[in-house]
Amino acid sequence: MAVADRRTAEAGTSMSRLMERAGTAVADAVAALGHGVSALVLAGPGNNGGDAFVAARVLRQRGYRVAVLDLAGEGGSEEAVTARSAYRGPRVAADDGAIDAAVEAATVIVDGLFGGGLSRDLEGAMAALVTRVNRARVRSRAAPHVVAIDLPSGIDGATGMVRGVAIRADRTVTFECRKPGHLLVPGRHYCGKVTVAEIGIAAATLKGLAVTTFANEPDLWRAHRPKLARGGHKYDRGHAVAVSGPMTATGAARLAITAALRTGAGLATLLSPGDALLVNAAHLTTVMLARVDDATGLTEALTDRRRNAVLLGPGMPPDAATRAMAEAALAAPAAAVLDAGAVVAFAGDVAGLKRAVGEGAAVLTPHAGEFSRLFGGEGGDKLARARAAAAASGAVVVFKGEDTVIAAPDGRAAINANAPPFLATAGAGDVLGGIITGFLAQGVPAFEAAAMGVFLHGLVATRIGPGLIADDLIDGLRAARAAFDML
């Protein structure tokens, strides 16, 4: 954003204009809360504090009761200093008693302590103030509404992580576009409802920045959605295959391959080890069945070039045989999706995985535990970890969770935010693997197939609602797929 600000300034819109519009947008959001607003505005040392002073001034001009707790200290940008001196209304003394009384009296607290410039953990008096505001927000009677400017103070805009302690907001007004901190957890949970105000940074300026981080929304992949040709053949829509686990673990791959078919693949085949053939045969109607016992068998099965997308891993043990099959899948011309056992089978050998991926289209779909086993590390900056994993493996990495990150080896990354909590249920991951395989079979490039697959998965779950089990996702896909085409 700082680069966008500078380019905008160079193009004739000054930083003070941007700050004026930002603060006014915040004032609008506060005013929209209704009558009887009595606002306590917290103003920090940077431009976030400058926005806060503009908001305070505008609210006062409109007749609202306002008091500012000025924690700007010495210094600050020229624009922030100007905004500060243009505010001529009441101020709250920075002592505990006065702050408590002001917090108690406020119906709205506007958080302008820190935004995009937060660079270290909150400590001391700042941390204590944040804790005070958070306590007031949950008090039972007349709790104030908390409106954060740009980001809840204490949330790191680039990672969504809490730096020490962070404001819990009911509403966050940000500028031009959402930042990773609004989408990644825990930051997302601190924001409340996020609104985006345009403050005059031209779309052309933002486009010129070669943005590589996106919210996973239809704009990102709309143009890549598969289109049905009139008079088309089923083979035009691809042939998805999935590899079944052994006799006692066949359900996962069946869920997946059925999901691939519902996602639009023209044909689907389950490749099953001999011991599981009868179990699978007893459950399948539309999905075809063929025997494959090992890597050699898989290589042979994938010589049929019409089988253009393959999924393996669900229900499979993370052992040498699974790894050999994964290598066979990656070596074949088909696009490959590796999940569960097929991801963990490469633990400790990311370089070997990268060699196996080569130049082919490949998608890995690990959850946090599988991700750590393959790529190492634990917790921390999810966006950076997913990007590094994609670069190290040469594959598109779908780092699953409430805030699934889809990262491509070329540096693009998308953050997904439409998955409801009840989607965390047995078999849901298998269905996701199948959906992505279904899109790959229809010729969608790997990054877009993964991103739209993750979005469709969240969409179908949301439409079904709480209590869903993975089987419901398969049924729900039919109607959700139609809704998806209309997005």
Ligand X SMILES: NC(=O)C1=CN([C@@H]2O[C@H](COP(=O)(O)OP(=O)(O)OC[C@H]3O[C@@H](n4cnc5c(N)ncnc54)[C@H](O)[C@@H]3O)[C@@H](O)[C@H]2O)[C@H](O)CC1
Q: Which residues bind ligand X (CB under 6 A)?
A: 1, 4-5, 18-19, 22, 44-51, 114-122, 126, 149-150, 175-176, 201
Measured distance CA(73)–CA(76) in Å, rounded:
8
Measured from the CB atom, the residue of 148 and 271 that comes closer to K ion is: 148
Looking at the Cβ atoms of 5 and 111, the one nearer to K ion is 111
The Cα–Cα gap between 294 and 321 comes to 7
Q: Which residue is nearest to K ion (CB)?
A: 153
Q: Is 341 annotated for ligand binding? A: no
Distances (CA, A) of 159 to 283, 369, 381, 420: 44, 19, 5, 21
Interacting positions 334-393 with K ion (CB under 5 A): none
Binding partner at 108 among K ion, ligand X, none, C-beta below 5 to 8 Å by kind: none
Is position 302 annotated in a ligand binding site?
A: no
Among candidate residues 389, 423, 388, the one with its CA nearest the CA of residue 403: 423
DSSP H or E stretch at residue 288: strand 288-291
User: Do 204 and 10 touch, CB atoms closer than 8 A?
Assistant: no
Residue 45 binding result from K ion, ligand X, none, given CB thresholds of 5 to 8 Å by partner type = ligand X
Q: Binding residue per annotation — 476?
A: no
Q: What secondary structure does DSSP assign to 45-104, as a single string?
A: SSHHHHHHHHHHHHHHHTT-EEEEEE---S---HHHHHHHHH--S-B--SSHHHHHHHHH
Nearest approach, Cβ of 73 to K ion (angstroms)? 16
Helix H or strand E encompassing 193 = strand 193-197
Distance of closest approach, residue 150 Cβ to K ion, in angstroms: 5
Say whether 393 counts as a known binding-site residue. no
Which CB, 45 or 180, lies closer to ligand X? 45
Rounded (10°) CA dihedral 87, 115, 175, 110:
-50
**451 close to 386: Cβ distance less than 8 angstroms:** no
Residue 32 Cβ vs ligand X, minimum distance, rounded to whole Å: 19
Asked whether position 423 contacts K ion by CB under 5 A, the answer is: no
- Closest distance to K ion from the beta carbon of 275 (Å): 59
| Cα distance between residue 75 and residue 428, in whole Å | 53
Q: Which of 63, 64, 3, 51 is nearest to 24 (CA)?
A: 51
> Which CB, 111 or 370, lies closer to K ion?
111
Residue (92 or 149) nearer to K ion, CB: 149
Q: How far is the CB of 26 from ligand X (least distance, A)?
A: 9
5 phi, psi to nearest 5 deg:
-60, -45
Q: Please report how close the Cβ of residue 113 comes to ligand X at its closest, in angstroms.
A: 8
Q: Closer to ligand X at the Cβ: 119 or 285? A: 119
Min dist CB 112 to ligand X, Å, is 7
CA-to-CA distance for 150 and 46, rounded, in angstroms?
Answer: 12
Q: Which residues, numbered 97-126, are part of the site for K ion (CB under 5 A)?
A: 111, 115
Identify which of 25, 26, 18, 21 has the alpha carbon closest to the alpha carbon of residue 77.
Answer: 18
Q: How far apart are CA 101 and CA 103, in angstroms?
A: 6
Q: For residue 409, what are the contacts with CB-CB under 8 A and spacing of at least 6?
A: 390, 391, 393, 394, 395, 396
What span, in angstroms and rounded, lies between the C-alpha atoms of 441 and 239?
A: 6
Q: What is the nearest approach in angstroms of K ion to the Cβ of residue 171? A: 12
Q: Which of K ion, ligand X, none does residue 175 bind (CB under 5 to 8 Å by kind)? A: ligand X
Find out whether 14 is annotated in a ligand binding site.
no
CB 242 within 8 A of CB 436: no
362 binds, among ligand X, K ion, none (CB under 5 to 8 A by kind): none
Matching residue, tokens 């990054």 = 447
Is 150 annotated among the ligand-binding residues? Answer: yes
Q: Convert residues 126-155 into a mask of x (bound to K ion by CB under 5 A) and - (unbound).
A: ----------------------xx---x--
Contact 435, 365 (CB under 8 A): no
Least Å distance between CB 74 and ligand X? 10
Where in 316-335 is the site for K ion (CB under 5 A)? none
Q: Of ligand X, K ion, none, which one sits near residue 148, judging by CB under 5 to 8 A according to partner kind?
A: K ion
We find the least distance from the C-beta atom of residue 417 to K ion, in angstroms, to be: 20
Picked from ligand X, K ion, none, the partner binding residue 111 (CB below 5 to 8 A depending on kind) is K ion
Q: What b/e string do you get for 193-226 counting C-beta neighbours within 10 Å, with b at 16 or more?
A: ebbebebebeeebbeeeeeebbbbbeebbeebbb
Using CB under 5 A, count the residues that bind K ion.
5
- In the list ligand X, K ion, none, the entry touching 120 (Cβ below 5 to 8 angstroms by class) is ligand X
Whether 47 has a binding-site annotation, put simply, is: yes
Is 315 known as a binding-site position?
yes
Contacts of residue 194, defined as CB under 8 A and 6 or more positions apart, other chains included, come to 171, 172, 174, 178, 182
Query: Interface residues with K ion (CB under 5 A)?
Result: 111, 115, 148-149, 153
| Positions at the binding site for K(+) | 48, 111, 153
| Positions at the binding site | 47-51, 111, 115-121, 150, 153, 252, 315, 367, 400-404, 429-430
| Positions at the binding site for AMP | 400-404, 429
| Positions at the binding site for (6S)-NADPHX | 47-51, 115-121, 150, 252, 315, 367, 430
